[in-house]
Amino acid sequence: MSITRRSTLAGAGAAAVGALLPYPLFGRNAPVPQRDLIIINAKVTTLDRENPEAQAIAIRDGKFLAVGSEVEVRQAAETGATLIDAMGRRVIPGLIDSHMHIIRGGLNFNMELRWDGVPSLSEAMAMLKAQVDRTPAPQWVRVVGGFTEHQFAEKRLPTLDELNAVAPETPVFILHLYDRALLNAAALRVVGYTKDTPNPPGGEIVRDASGNPTGLLLAHPNATILYSTLAKGPKLPEEYQINSTRHFMRDVNSLGVTGVIDAGGGYQNYPEDYQIIEKLHQDGELTVRISYNLFTQKPKEELADFSSWVKQVKPGQGDDSYRHNGAGEMLVYSAADFEDFRVARPDLPPSMEGDLEPVIRLLAENRWPWRLHATYDETIGRALDVYEKVNRDIPLAGINWFFDHAETISDRNIDRIAALGGGIAVQHRMAYQGEYFVERYGAKAAERTPPIAKMIAAGIPVGAGTDATRVASYNPWVSLSWLVTGRTVGGLKLYPGANRVSREKALAMWTHENTWFSNEVGTKGRIKAGQLADLAVLSDDYFSVPEDEIVHIRSVLTLLGGKAVHGEGDYGPIAPELPKPMPDWSPVAIFGGYHKTPEAKAKLAAACGCHSACSVHGHDHAAALAANVPAHDVQTFWGSLGCGCWAV
């Protein structure tokens, strides 16, 4: 079967292309493929030093079979192999996020209105108003992170008066990074915050002159007040959480992501909150490979948590789709220096080393890898004191432990990490908070936040990720853009050339170099014979588009183990069908996930084929796109407005 470019693709054309498939390329009930898969006419970036570029790929039984010229690949594959034409597009290994909260994020995705990538506050507020109008009581409208005020043309957040004007009765909760949350009056009533509600430890309920809560919650400096307030909202039932997780995975697939190391998270208890992801794994419905770390939930009871878990599960337990990865990113609460550059660096308590040491000893004795959230050099230095002490008794060699974030790490502590055999996973949090850092510490200090070039020069493993979904967006191309350009999403230039990396190095940090952090080196992350056949066919050529367009790249076809898990445009017909978002009022049904540019929407519209207007109401595709509706959800959109007469 050859997929060819469609100059005019209508609904019938899309169906005809799909009908040519000899078998479904993905799905729990799909037969085991009996044919090899060949991709031709591609610009393949393999990240394999021995074979850096290719024009064609052959896949067999979920792994790359051959990578090279079309002649070489056809000779390696069996007669009658399924054929996909990449039409000259760039093909890269599937992206791997070394730090995302995909398990927690999936449970809630369908309830959240995402402002990730929305370019103006006016558009964000129009989306909010549309969602308020269709959200039934007692549900909330939630915007839970993934954006910053600096991405908006207006360079500000909405006011509380603006929130109350668009949502007088429906509770609205907006989380901005981990520094604040905005609640309208209806949300304040639901969560029960009144004049008599005391401030919780580490947080502030901002009040007016009469002492009444205004709706602004501030983290000073930890995020407990934000976590706990959000947790008061309704939750989705199990069936909806399954659907929600599938939609979230599909959205990250649409950006080329095929692997994630899940960093746990607050209110993500093990094993209770892992039941949904484990069911999806059991049913063969995971479209992202997940390695998960266990995050303690109980201050002062951290050692008890890990003592229990080391008896229940072992690192590496699982398979290539879902496997355990060790401890963290929370090891002990006294070592957590939550980042909020709007306030001064927190001083960790004197008990930190005493709390941390028994946990590290336990993990080292059981050969558990671990990760530790550490924003500031002071935290890293104190943690390294503990690691070095434990290492004298229990050598850490062979345990892939690492720090997350490390924005202000010093050269000395980089060298100490190298000497102990550790690594550092960096995330693009500064792309969202860089302006705040500069305001507090100055532009010069911001030039090495984090000092990626120094880390690489020291020879330690350095991987990249997002820390999504709350303090930053899950879009990997924002991270890749930040690594290459050194700019925030608001356009502020943070880094000189010496602290930026090449496009190829950034891509390596998002693919095979992240496999060190999940103990999977050599199994994935390159397009190389014998490795897992995870790849993305890109909408635009990452290596040639202008720097300011990197952030807008998408995947038009994503394969996991050689099976299609996402397709759009020319490749839409071979993508697996995704059930409609649940519940029917879900923001995902209209707005999808990460914001699409007008150009991307136009491409989807051209490929969708449903150009005809509704014969009764005059609804047309252009009007739906203007409302930011993903092309494949146009019918759902008009149906939500009571139009049942959609005609194609």
Is 502 contained in some domain?
yes
In a shared domain, residues 507 and 559: no
Give CA–CA dist 479/428, Å, rounded.
5
Is 209 contained in some domain?
yes
Element (H, E) at 430: helix 430-441
**Side-chain half-sphere exposure of 337, counting CA atoms within 13 A:** 26
In a shared domain, residues 327 and 422: yes
* Tally of CB atoms within 10 A around 439: 12
Confidence check: pLDDT of 648 > 50? no
Query: CA 614 from chain center: how many Å?
Result: 36
Query: In 3D, which of 312, 374, 295, 309 has the Cα closest to residue 104?
Result: 295
Give CA–CA dist 145/430, Å, rounded.
14
Per cent of the chain over pLDDT 70 is 88
Q: What is the pLDDT of residue 647?
A: 27
Rg (CA), the chain: 24
Q: What is the pLDDT of residue 220?
A: 84
CATH number of the structural domain spanning residue 106: 3.10.310.70
Amino acid code (one letter) for 16: A
Hey, what are 386's tokens?
Answer: 């503990």
In a shared domain, residues 297 and 430: yes
Is 259 contained in some domain?
no
Amino acid code (one letter) for 519: N
In a shared domain, residues 444 and 308: yes
Q: What is the pLDDT of residue 578?
A: 95
Domain boundary at 178, 204, 230, which? 230
Among all chains, which residue has been given the structure tokens 């409609």? Answer: 580
Confidence check: pLDDT of 533 > 50? yes
Amino acid code (one letter) for 393: D
Is 385 contained in some domain?
yes
Give CA–CA dist 384/360, Å, rounded.
11
pLDDT tens sequence across 409-426: 999 999 999 999 999 999
pLDDT tens sequence across 133-171: 999 999 999 999 999 999 999 999 999 999 999 999 999
Domain boundary at 173, 208, 230, which? 230
In a shared domain, residues 416 and 559: no
Give CA–CA dist 216/559, Å, rounded.
43
In a shared domain, residues 551 and 512: no
Put simply, whether the predicted model's pTM sits higher than 0.85 gets the answer yes
Give CA–CA dist 100/72, Å, rounded.
38
Confidence check: pLDDT of 565 > 60? yes
pLDDT tens sequence across 293-302: 999 998 999 9
Query: In 3D, which of 255, 110, 319, 274 has the Cα closest to residue 565?
Result: 255
Is 64 contained in some domain?
yes
In a shared domain, residues 279 and 219: no
Give CA–CA dist 422/416, Å, rounded.
9
In a shared domain, residues 85 and 106: no
Is 113 contained in some domain?
yes
Give CA–CA dist 499/648, Å, rounded.
52
Average pLDDT, rounded, for the chain: 89
Domain boundary at 230, 251, 277, which? 230
Distances (CA, A) of 286 to 183, 283, 290, 321: 34, 8, 9, 7
Domain containing residue 620 = 596-640
Give CA–CA dist 425/97, Å, rounded.
10
Give CA–CA dist 523/508, Å, rounded.
15
Is 645 contained in some domain?
no
pLDDT tens sequence across 204-236: 999 999 999 999 999 987 888 998 999 999 999
In this prediction, residue 623 has a pLDDT band, given cuts at 50, 70 and 90, of very low
The arithmetic mean of pLDDT across residues 531-535, rounded, is: 98
Query: In 3D, which of 420, 425, 107 has the Cα closest to residue 261?
Result: 425
Among all chains, which residue has been given the structure tokens 């445009």? Answer: 569
3-class secondary-structure state, position 183: strand
Confidence check: pLDDT of 202 > 90? no
Give CA–CA dist 35/60, Å, rounded.
8
In a shared domain, residues 512 and 539: no
In a shared domain, residues 401 and 310: yes
**Neighbour-count burial of 21, counting CB atoms closer than 10 A to its CB (0-12 exposed, 13-18 middle, 19+ buried):** middle
Q: What is the pLDDT of residue 427?
A: 98
Give CA–CA dist 532/320, Å, rounded.
9
Give CA–CA dist 249/7, Å, rounded.
30
Confidence check: pLDDT of 59 > 90? yes
In a shared domain, residues 104 and 87: no
Element (H, E) at 599: helix 598-608
> What DSSP line would sit under 64-120, residue for residue?
EEEEE-HHHHHHHSPTT-EEEE-TT-EEEEPEEEEEE-HHHHHHHGGGB---TT---
Is 71 contained in some domain?
yes
CB 431 within 8 A of CB 495: no
Hey, what are 639's tokens?
Answer: 């149906």
CATH number of the structural domain spanning residue 566: 2.30.40.10
**Neighbour-count burial of 224, counting CB atoms closer than 10 A to its CB (0-12 exposed, 13-18 middle, 19+ buried):** middle
Of the candidate ranges 13-17, 62-66, 86-90, 310-314, the one whose mean pLDDT is the lowest: 13-17
In a shared domain, residues 159 and 275: no
Q: What is the pLDDT of residue 158?
A: 98
DSSP 8-state secondary structure symbol assigned to residue 518: G
Hey, what are 403's tokens?
Answer: 């720090």
Number of domains in the chain: 4
Give the alpha-carbon dihedral of 299, 304, 308, 309, to 10 degrees: 40
In this prediction, residue 191 has a pLDDT band, given cuts at 50, 70 and 90, of very high
